[in-house]
């Protein structure tokens, strides 16, 4: 795609390895995300972290979020490329957890207070985010009083309150019907492009949804030795640039031949991992 510029590196995974109970889980994982810029567009980044169940996605997820430490290697975030710490990357789980006894605005204020903001600034930022995320009329309501889609937006806003620009979303598509998946993909794309540095990593084993929502896909797997035996420890074994394939930032991609071709390409490799 013309006129796309890759500027500063805003997240980097360097030579990351992890062993648990004597079993290699991750082995020399390397990947990077760059600030993507297009003329006349605010363009955030959406990366699909794709791989079969049990391949190590959750372990890598937790390390990127600063929740766990690897045995070796590092995760660097932001334009300053500082080592990730707990709280620097927001995390949204499948059930969009919110405190049920607090209002939507209260949930956002708590997130700000935990990030160290004084109450007055926390309240102002919460109001700003409610408007930015299309929740202006929901601030005084409790989570049970709003729709599932609104709770989803509130949970995402809550995490952006803490992490500012980085968000990890875990298996959001599990159990959703096709229409709900389409709505989630649209929401992710919309929120990523609220700010130029917004970066969302979507962890999933759903190939079609990963293609539909991402501008880049990291495919996790294990390599084989010369005898065809799997080498223990997963890594990012392939990176797919959907921008170059003309599949990024389009609402109609699932109906295109290019989508079908990429889905088939990844699927054939997916089952060999």
- At 238 the pLDDT is 94
SS (H, E, C) 68-125: CCCCEEEEEECCCCEECCCCCCEEECCCCCCCCCCCHHHHHHHHHHHCCCCHHHHHHH
The pLDDT of residue 251: 79
Q: What is the mean pLDDT of each run of 10 residues along the chain (273 residues)?
A: 85 96 95 94 94 91 94 94 89 76 92 79 88 87 89 80 81 70 80 88 91 95 83 93 92 89 92 68
Contact 146, 138 (CB under 8 A): yes
Strand partners of residue 47: 201, 216
State the pLDDT at residue 184.
76
Q: What are the residues whose beta carbons fall under 8 Å from the beta carbon of 38, sequence distance 6 or more?
A: 3, 4, 5
Check residue 1 and give its pLDDT. 57
Two structure tokens written together for 250: 């389009």
| pTM, entire model | 0.83
- Give the CATH number of the domain where residue 101 resides: 3.40.50.300
Joined together, the tokens standing for residue 265 give: 């390409």
When divided into structural domains, the chain yields a total of: 1
Task: Determine the structural domain holding residue 152 and report its residue range.
Answer: 5-270
């Amino acid at each position: 795609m013309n006129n796309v510029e890759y500027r500063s590196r805003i997240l980097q995974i360097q030579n990351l390895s992890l062993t648990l109970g004597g079993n290699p889980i991750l082995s020399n994982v390397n990947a990077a995300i760059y600030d993507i810029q297009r003329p006349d567009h605010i363009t955030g980044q959406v990366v699909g972290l794709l791989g079969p169940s049990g391949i190590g996605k959750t372990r890598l997820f937790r390390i990127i979020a600063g929740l766990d430490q690897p045995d070796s290697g590092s995760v660097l975030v932001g334009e300053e490329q500082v080592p990730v710490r707990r709280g620097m990357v927001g995390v949204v789980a499948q059930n969009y957890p919110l405190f049920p006894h607090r209002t939507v605005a209260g949930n956002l204020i708590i997130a700000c207070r935990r990030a160290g903001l004084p109450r007055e600034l926390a309240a102002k930022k919460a109001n700003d985010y409610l408007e930015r995320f299309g929740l202006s009329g929901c601030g005084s309501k409790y989570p049970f009083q709003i729709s599932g889609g609104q709770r989803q937006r509130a949970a995402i806003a809550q995490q952006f309150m803490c992490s500012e620009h980085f968000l990890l979303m875990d298996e959001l598509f599990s159990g959703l019907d096709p229409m709900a998946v389409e709505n989630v993909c649209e929401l992710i794309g919309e929120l990523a492009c609220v700010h130029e540095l917004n970066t969302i990593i979507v962890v999933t084993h759903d190939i079609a949804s990963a293609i539909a929502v991402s501008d880049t896909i990291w495919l996790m797997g294990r390599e084989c030795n010369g005898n065809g035996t799997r080498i223990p420890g997963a890594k990012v074994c392939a990176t797919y640039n959907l921008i170059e394939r003309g599949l990024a930032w389009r609402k109609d991609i699932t109906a295109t031949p290019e989508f079908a071709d990429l889905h088939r390409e990844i699927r054939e490799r997916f089952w060999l991992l």
